[in-house]
Amino acid sequence: MSSPAFRIRRRWIAAVASLAALTVVSLAILGLSASMPKAEEAPVMLIMVANPRALEENMDRMLDSWQQLGYIKPEMRETYKGMAINLYGPADSLKRKYFAVKNTALFAVA
């Protein structure tokens, strides 16, 4: 049976060793990435376009999937539709357009 002080010291040594290994791996990745070409030299450009009508186009398919997976009961479909429309606003509203642009920008950054 080891003393509590020894167990704490052993965990601390393991944590320091893990941190040192992580630092070595991080430095190796930095060294490799320094020799790679810049992003502006990449041969691909993606253009993301926001679609304010995506909610109506995809909601039934999404709710079907949730229902098949058992996430929602059939009687809750209309409730979820109402909640989504309440959150995003009417189809032609400025609020809906802002949500579409914001969500597209977040997706593009990720």
Q: Angle, to 10 degrees, between the axis of helix 94-109 and the axis of helix 77-88?
A: 90
**Closest of 50, 51, 55 to residue 90, by C-alpha:** 55
Q: What is the pLDDT of residues 56-100, one digit of tens each?
A: 899 999 999 999 999 999 999 999 999 998 998 888 899 999 889
Report domain extents, the chain: 4-39, 54-109
Q: For residue 21, what pLDDT is reported?
A: 42
pTM over 0.85: no
